[in-house]
Structure 1
Amino acid sequence: MSAVLEAAPQAAATRPRESIYQPEQQGLIFPEVPHFSSAAQHRTHLKERLVGACRAFALQGFDYGFAGHLTVRDPEDPTLYWTNPMAVHFSQVKVSNLILADHDGKVVEGRHAINRAGFVLHAAVHEAHQDIVAMCHAHTLYGTAFATLGRKLDPISQDAAAFFEDHVVIGDEAGQVAVEVKAGHKVANAFQGVKAAIHQNHGLLTASRHSIESAAFWFIALERCCQQQLAVAAAGITPTLVTPERARYSREHVGSDYIGWLHFQTIWDQLLATQPDMFD
């Protein structure tokens, strides 16, 4: 059973509205951020959503051999994080094969090995930024292609505006596989107050101060934005950009961690209906 069904309820009317998308009218069906009565309950929820994020990546075709790693911080011990197992396809990740690791890369729970590159990058970010609870990275087609340009996304659309002044380009160690600890520290330094990074000649990374669902959705969105920008560039026509003022306005309303979480709920519902083996 999904942990969201077991989450301790809190009346929607007593919660402050985080977004204009939340209905003001009472009694309507609308996703609510769950609250928990215990760390164990919270942990079950996080593990299930981490599996859901991996399955969502599989649906998007983000797999590339053993490359790609998603992490979420443990709710009881913030020095530990849950992650997908090494050399297991995103579509085969389930609650039973997740692993729990510390910041030194030691597996403290689970039977599978950890991805060395995942440890180097994610552990460094989690350790340097205690507010970051989740992080995603995968070797995707359009994100990797766009990363070769060494530039930020242009605000060519409302979708791209969600990342306006909220992502960075990391040039350090560009194209060199991140298996040394110092590489992780350089990536960690870049994640100061932003939700996404384009690592030159490598690919995309997203982080969330809210949830694994938000980190996963914004990764999916960032990949789509890279695809859109490459398509516009291929057309050979200079696009009309969203003005900075309008881009900031759009980012405030459609680019938050909460909105990323809310977007992911549609994916979660689809996964619940089609992939019950997630909870094995």
Structure 2
Amino acid sequence: MSLSDLQPIPTDQLVFRLPQKFDTVEEERRHRQERLVAALRLFGRFGFEEGVAGHITARDPEHTDHFWVNPFGMSFKQIRVSDLILVNHEGQVVEGRYHVNQAAFAIHAMVHQARPDAVAAAHSHSVYGKALSSLGTLLEPLTQDACAFYEDHGLFDDYTGVVVETEEGRRIARALGSSKAVILRNHGLLTVGDTVDAAAWWFITMERSCQAQLLAKAAGPTVPIDHENAKLTHGQIGNDLVGWINFQPLHDQITAAEPDMFG
């Protein structure tokens, strides 16, 4: 057969993954738990841990005012599905064997309450997110990837110590607004998404965008993308489906490398 004999394969015969649909809440719950653990393992692999700080949450599909979260004091790199805890709207553990990080409850409970569209939220003390947050500034449209956050992230321009009170969480939720992310001054990054995959991807790519901005500005004068093209690019790459799609190669890598996490 010569190349001239080859015919295009119909697009409906090509594989293209989309978010799954579920017949039962039990199936959807297990799916969210597995994606949550995969995201946590990836955060560990990428060096986003800082002692006991950092958490990713996933809203329960049945008890929507409850969320699944990593336990207090457990390494991202070792967490398994069976280690996850379910926390109610009062910060009480209703399923699981471990304590909840009080900062995780204070922040995430208020974010989930304010954003019923947000299935998941991610926050950790990653190096470049912390560095950019100390400048009290937003991400600039310096790269194509950063445009995912153009006019779609907020700044919580305050710092009053470790977040342990729900009122502080409410203030963070207000700073987040309807956006996909918020920079917490002198603290770090927080992202949300309509899937665990999207929330985790937004955090990963936002951290890298913070790194790129810091490097670029240290090197010399920057050339930002103009408003119209930044808006256009945001429309192309800034929705949660694109976030979900971008997460899939990372999910494939971690599940192949660390299958023990599903235990």
Q: TM-score range by the shorter chain?
A: over 0.9
Q: Where do 5+ consecutive residues of structure 2 fail to align?
A: 1-8
What residue in structure 2 maps to residue 6 of structure 1? none
In the TM superposition, what are the counterparts of 1:111-122 in structure 2 within 5 Å?
A: 111-122=97-108
The structure with the largest alpha-carbon Rg is 2
In the alignment, is residue 194 of structure 1 matched against residue 179 of structure 2?
A: yes
Scaled by the length of structure 1, what TM-score is found? 0.89
Deviations 1:26-61 (A, max 9, x none): 111221210001000000100000000101101111
What residue in structure 2 maps to residue 233 of structure 1? 217
Deviations 1:194-244 (A, max 9, x none): 000001011100011x10110001000010011001101111x21111011
150 and 125 in structure 1: CA distance in 2 versus 1, 3 angstrom threshold = same
Q: Where do 5+ consecutive residues of structure 1 fail to align?
A: 1-22
What residue in structure 2 maps to residue 12 of structure 1? none
Q: Give, in whole Å, the separation in 1 of the partners of 2:258 and 2:24.
A: 27
Structure 1 stretch displaced more, 189-198 or 35-44: 189-198
How far 1:191 moved relative to its partner?
2.2
In the TM superposition, what are the counterparts of 1:164-243 in structure 2 within 5 Å?
A: 164-172=150-158, 174=159, 176-208=161-193, 210-235=194-219, 237-243=220-226
Scaled by the length of structure 2, what TM-score is found? 0.95
Q: Give every structure 1 segment of 4 or more consecutive aligned residues whose post-TM-superposition deviation is greater than 3 Å.
A: none
Q: Which amino acid aligns with 1:154?
A: E
Q: Identity across aligned pairs (percent)?
A: 44
Secondary structure in structure 2 of the residue aligned to 1:92: coil
How far 1:164 moved relative to its partner?
0.3
In the alignment, is residue 245 of structure 1 matched against residue 231 of structure 2?
A: no
Structure 1 stretch displaced more, 23-32 or 92-101: 23-32
Q: Which amino acid aligns with 1:58?
A: G
- Is contact 2:154-2:177 (8 Å) kept? no
Q: Give, in whole Å, the separation in 1 of the partners of 2:196 and 2:104.
A: 15
Q: Give, in whole Å, the separation in 2 of the partners of 1:183 and 1:133.
A: 21
Q: Give, in whole Å, the separation in 1 of the partners of 2:186 and 2:260.
A: 36
What residue in structure 2 maps to residue 274 of structure 1? 257
How far 1:93 moved relative to its partner?
1.0
What residue in structure 2 maps to residue 89 of structure 1? 75
Q: Which amino acid aligns with 2:251?
A: W
Aligned residues: 255
Deviations 1:178-207 (A, max 9, x none): 112211110111222100000101110001
176 and 36 in structure 1: CA distance in 2 versus 1, 3 angstrom threshold = same
CA RMSD of aligned residues (A): 1.2
